[in-house]
Amino acid sequence: MPHVERVDAQPLLLITNRLAEAMYSTGNPLTTEQTAAPNTLKNEPSDVRITAKVQQLLDPLRQGQKGTEVVYDGCLFQSEY
């Protein structure tokens, strides 16, 4: 995945929480560290540091590698990352 420097922390942490809930409900829970990240990071003043930490925690969840083909809605996509 491309490296992202900064996104707004509040929506990123909210979406990370929702991801943790969705993964848990599908029987694929995140690690304790990944699940705790939104609460742990919410008082961090730097959006840049929050973005980096969330990306570091979630990058291991990536399924495809560069060149992986994915079919979605009848269309074939090839990962560039």
Instruction: Indicate the pLDDT class of residue 60, thresholds 50, 70 and 90.
Output: confident
pLDDT of 81 over the 60 cut: no
Q: Say yes or no to pLDDT of 32 above 70.
A: yes
* Residues 57, 34 contacting (CB under 8 angstroms): yes
> Which residues does residue 75 pair with via DSSP β-bridges, in sequence order?
72
Residue 64 has pLDDT above 90, yes or no: no
Q: Give the separation between CA 41 and CA 58, rounded to whole angstroms.
A: 14
What is the C-alpha to C-alpha distance for residues 38 and 43, in angstroms, rounded to an integer?
A: 9
pTM: 0.71
When computed from its CA atoms, the radius of gyration of the chain, rounded to whole angstroms, is 14
Q: Specify the pLDDT at position 74.
A: 64
Does the pLDDT value for residue 44 go beyond 60?
A: yes
- Domains of the chain by residue range: 9-78
**What average pLDDT does the segment 31-40 reach?**
92
